[in-house]
Structure 1
């Protein structure tokens, strides 16, 4: 009896191991020939991938590592690591390498007061070889990349080598993994390979590696103990031997309270430092439990606020909702999701763009692996939910539609949420229009001695963190310790204060526009002036929006590169108060706002004679009345057609003496050495200034996962005045 041929969409028929075609018209023959050739070649292609799977995984992993190491180095040398964490870790590693275990001065306590991350000591010997922030960035990238290998092992055991290769590629191309890698440095991403190893050892029934993974995980950070504890429910549900679920639960339950006690004592706070985020629930465990039962509406309003809803929908859609079809493997994520959803101000995009998803992503991949396994096994429909049954049936019956949809989702997520597209755009833009600020900062940092006690702005804190004592200027500005109402002050004698007044704009959006934190901004300049006076710090070098303050006796020691030569820099004033109107090179006498009149300007001495084009101006103002809002100075370069080629905002008085401190009738000169990028210095171009008020803006992470002001909208308060023409 002749075997029946089973038709396949597109005119192809399978008959055991042979193929035949059925063409409706002659026009179909070429297409069918191509389809037939592809199908016949598939076993060979599959065999090649399976034979070379190990080399493919290693190649993908090393390619990923190379890309992100280069990206990290580029980001570092261009001063884009400005969110504090890399600076903190680098100082901790530097002090540890020099015998001060977990030593830290950026926060006024040992690093153990932030987190209990004992695995940090395992990496200290590697850091000792090359004591630099780049070392940490390379270590982090290699660890994140290495997680692809145990993921491959898991997928290979549960599925096959071909699927394992697909999951490896999906992991390395995942936008959230890229964000974890790009946003600063943390010890937490060490959990990525360890979590995969934990589950691989569980699947392989290798209890020794399983136990070692648990120990390394809970020592990586204190809250990982919550994940390993909840992981214990998985072998319990799968009815494994007691040791498989008892060991993670017992070790986690023992270590977690011990770790919290250690970090609380080390911080000097009355409770676990990061419990501050959950203060709305209560200040004690009893009060928190009581809130859940007595105020359920309040709890639900926090859990389901807009930011949290956005976070949940985004991360689930990014994985095509597939993890929901094997929710058993999401049990370890419960405590981490609870942390995010109970945050007082919601989670939103910050969690998606930083390292916080580290403890969630592995379980999403593991869950999807089991979804694929179930899809292949075709279990009885009665064993599934109706929605799950419908989705899996569609995946089986319409793979040519379902699979492209899933692939499209992954590609869309990459281009919308990965930092790589933004990095490529920024790289091209900076090649076309080089920012002179990088070269300026490189020059200024060379003059700060390794032994100096330094206070620094955000973007140079990382570069100055390889030293015994360094402080972050923003804590001095707020006058408060991190996550605390306790006062903050620096009593140690300071040699250098590096102040990028661009931070004043960031402070404005971070605190002035953030309800409840206005005092951080309003009183910050008073604290700044008091500190400068107490420490006897004076401006040593002023370039564009950067001021380097040094002790009065050392203020003439700075040197700036002038091509290949060096010359000393005289101390400079950043503002001057006059009793009467001084003589002026150019008289303007125009009101740039209702409160402030620009009387005119004088040229300043080019004391620093930099290899950059500077426009030095002493802008002389008369205060008609003290401004209620903080106006900012906008400088623009326009071409003869009045098109804006370049613009930049500056803080009036550099934020050290902002306009809100000016008194009615005051005559004030603010001194600037504006740096203009060379490609905008062309004959006929004109430089103008005007005052603007900020109407809106957000201090958040940009495409490079650096802290920056986005969505900024301003409103002019008066006319623009020319101050130079090329």
Structure 2
């Protein structure tokens, strides 16, 4: 039999932008690209440094990864902040890659600045992809600028530190290397991406699948799919089963869909339209539904909705979007957190390809370097689109961007402020003073804003676990830690109020008693407790003598205010105003009391107020002996922006039971009805501080 003719090898189908290889970018172009990257890195780096300096990182994520990286250098994988081996929480193997860099400067800012620089470098693969698609250096620089101006990128950058944020750049590099048929760089960047977090396998796998379906060489597509499957097996078949803990119960986020992966998959397959609806709506929760519907224009608008013209690229983000929108946590439905980290690179790549698609449709011809070099329909359309996209990006940044937002549009704001306000500046020296007084060794319990500074210790605990009695996102009880030599927290911080429960005070007392902690320093509700300090400061005294200015007002028939003493009649802006108030518990309380201090100027206008727990949460009224005078000493921090002059101080009592909705307590003094139950405590004078 005659031998069958040999088939020619399958060649990749040429894309619409295929053309002869272009010369390397000019030095001017590269300098412009470097300037864009450097500008972003410097601007966001400065903001990150300022945020850190003024204690504006107020979540648990940065401390977790600081401790994880630091402990990895010590040969340990345990995170006391998270309460488990951190690889059992999230498989972020990239921290082992970062550890040598972190070792050069063991400081939280190292991770924050690495994040800024890495995200800035994402402009390079965007530029390279745009240059391939658009065949024009100037327009490619515009695409790089659009990426750097992308609001979701900025919000992700400024919200703590997250290893998956680094995958934004490495995924872009993977997409670019795949488009350029550069196999080895594609594999390297794909592996780096997969090392950032376990769910990066989802976009990498879909990227490989799309490479196969679009007729590219099978080798890159199969390689990406193989790497993604290998990552999933390593994460969910080896590492997580070996190191996971009941301290992390992320499956609860999808409880609406089923009790486990099998039930969830079955529910989604049986009710596909319900799953699709979850991308735009949350039945019974109009607030979350509004967030979901706002997500799409906020993510697409800065790119002039160009990603919609490249659905084959957008589909790469589909499993990540499903991961977030099927969850009940509304934080995953905003663009203000790290949850856009794996969506942003897909949006940027889709925008570039959608841009090229639109130019081709308008011009009716392929894009080549020659076409883009001379005047014509393609060039004119490309420049018009570039101008419109830059205008759209600027408008979106003014409406809801992380740095330029003007407040013209009512949109959700990040839980972390970008820049210190006047009161943050007032608090900084007191925070610095107390951090410096924390013993150098031993376990520490601290509030969010202090955790990163103390995270290099093997035993650092977040106070919100003490408040709730449970691990983060878990029903596992959190034991009161021992071996603690200090507790540092702003007990009155309203950001901690969400974690206060009926047993919070009991657990705080257990922490104090088990570790022999006593008040060593206090400013406002900012407290430092250390183990048996040589000198203590008075917070609450049982059996105190009568106040200098006696006055009896009974609130809700349970709590009696019996007088006050203003220890100083003058203070400086930014200084402390010590005030003592005396109380009696006249009935067993069925609620929890808080007090509001209100500072009014000479004409009676409120200038400053604060809400705080009576007894600092450490000495709640429920444990006070009945019919005994209890004195609380409070050192109120006077904001440094308060102008010099005469002021009055008033006090209002409120109560709560099971939520953070406070109700004004009713007094037995009818004269207070006209002041909304505000009790006058006296007058004081504010002067300018000496350094002004």
- Partner SS state of residue 453, structure 2: coil
The answer for unaligned runs of 5 or more in structure 1 is 1-48, 382-393, 512-519, 557-569, 699-711
**1:167 counterpart residue number:** 143
Between the aligned partners of 2:187 and 2:542, the Cα distance in structure 1 is 69
CA deviation after TM superposition for structure 1 residue 714, in Å? 7.7
Relative to structure 1, the CA distance from residue 491 to residue 545 in structure 2 (aligned partners, 3 Å threshold; closer, same or farther) is closer
Relative to structure 1, the CA distance from residue 635 to residue 224 in structure 2 (aligned partners, 3 Å threshold; closer, same or farther) is same
State how 1:224-263 maps to structure 2 within 5 Å: 224-263=200-239
**1:106 counterpart residue number:** 81
Is 1:537 equivalent to 2:517 in the alignment? Answer: yes
State how 1:5-44 maps to structure 2 within 5 Å: none
**2:264 counterpart residue number:** 288
Relative to structure 1, the CA distance from residue 661 to residue 234 in structure 2 (aligned partners, 3 Å threshold; closer, same or farther) is farther
CA contact (8 A) 2:146 2:303 kept: no
Between the aligned partners of 1:190 and 1:255, the Cα distance in structure 2 is 17
**1:546 counterpart residue number:** 526
Is 1:446 equivalent to 2:436 in the alignment? Answer: yes
State how 1:437-516 maps to structure 2 within 5 Å: 437-503=427-493, 505-508=494-497, 510-511=498-499
CA contact (8 A) 2:247 2:471 kept: no
Relative to structure 1, the CA distance from residue 208 to residue 400 in structure 2 (aligned partners, 3 Å threshold; closer, same or farther) is closer
Moved more, 435-444 or 620-629: 620-629
Relative to structure 1, the CA distance from residue 628 to residue 316 in structure 2 (aligned partners, 3 Å threshold; closer, same or farther) is farther
**1:577 counterpart residue number:** 542
Moved more, 667-676 or 396-405: 396-405
**1:153 counterpart residue number:** 128
CA deviation after TM superposition for structure 1 residue 273, in Å? 4.3
**1:309 counterpart residue number:** 293
Q: Deviations over 1:365-418 (max 9, x none)?
A: 21121222122223799xxxxxxxxxxxx9999999977664443223212332
Between the aligned partners of 2:593 and 2:392, the Cα distance in structure 1 is 44
Moved more, 244-253 or 591-600: 591-600
CA deviation after TM superposition for structure 1 residue 677, in Å? 2.9
Superposition RMSD on alpha carbons, in Å? 3.6
Q: Deviations over 1:530-555 (max 9, x none)?
A: 22222222222222111211222xx1
**1:725 counterpart residue number:** 684
Relative to structure 1, the CA distance from residue 641 to residue 404 in structure 2 (aligned partners, 3 Å threshold; closer, same or farther) is farther
Is 1:120 equivalent to 2:95 in the alignment? Answer: yes
**1:650 counterpart residue number:** 612
CA deviation after TM superposition for structure 1 residue 696, in Å? 13
Relative to structure 1, the CA distance from residue 540 to residue 200 in structure 2 (aligned partners, 3 Å threshold; closer, same or farther) is same
TM-score under structure 2 length normalisation:
0.82
**2:563 counterpart residue number:** 600
**1:417 counterpart residue number:** 400
- Partner SS state of residue 463, structure 1: helix
State how 1:312-391 maps to structure 2 within 5 Å: 312-347=296-331, 351-378=334-361
CA contact (8 A) 1:687 1:724 kept: yes
Between the aligned partners of 2:356 and 2:225, the Cα distance in structure 1 is 28
Moved more, 135-144 or 235-244: 235-244
Moved more, 324-333 or 534-543: 534-543
CA deviation after TM superposition for structure 1 residue 173, in Å? 1.4
Relative to structure 1, the CA distance from residue 678 to residue 314 in structure 2 (aligned partners, 3 Å threshold; closer, same or farther) is closer
Give the one of 63, 68, 73 matched to 1:92. 68
Relative to structure 1, the CA distance from residue 283 to residue 572 in structure 2 (aligned partners, 3 Å threshold; closer, same or farther) is same
Is 1:188 equivalent to 2:164 in the alignment? Answer: yes
Relative to structure 1, the CA distance from residue 677 to residue 373 in structure 2 (aligned partners, 3 Å threshold; closer, same or farther) is closer
CA deviation after TM superposition for structure 1 residue 51, in Å? 6.1
**1:67 counterpart residue number:** 43
**1:706 counterpart residue number:** none
TM-score under structure 1 length normalisation:
0.78
CA deviation after TM superposition for structure 1 residue 297, in Å? 7.5
CA deviation after TM superposition for structure 1 residue 209, in Å? 1.1
CA contact (8 A) 1:605 1:616 kept: yes
CA contact (8 A) 2:363 2:378 kept: no
Relative to structure 1, the CA distance from residue 401 to residue 376 in structure 2 (aligned partners, 3 Å threshold; closer, same or farther) is closer
Q: Deviations over 1:216-249 (max 9, x none)?
A: 2112211101111111122122111211211111
Between the aligned partners of 2:503 and 2:566, the Cα distance in structure 1 is 32
Relative to structure 1, the CA distance from residue 507 to residue 262 in structure 2 (aligned partners, 3 Å threshold; closer, same or farther) is farther
Relative to structure 1, the CA distance from residue 665 to residue 156 in structure 2 (aligned partners, 3 Å threshold; closer, same or farther) is same
Between the aligned partners of 2:143 and 2:386, the Cα distance in structure 1 is 14
CA deviation after TM superposition for structure 1 residue 182, in Å? 0.5
Moved more, 267-276 or 592-601: 267-276
CA contact (8 A) 1:501 1:654 kept: yes
- Partner SS state of residue 232, structure 1: helix
**2:505 counterpart residue number:** 525
The answer for unaligned runs of 5 or more in structure 2 is 1-24, 283-288, 365-376, 408-415, 667-676, 686-692
CA contact (8 A) 1:481 1:487 kept: yes
Between the aligned partners of 1:713 and 1:412, the Cα distance in structure 2 is 39
Relative to structure 1, the CA distance from residue 593 to residue 405 in structure 2 (aligned partners, 3 Å threshold; closer, same or farther) is farther
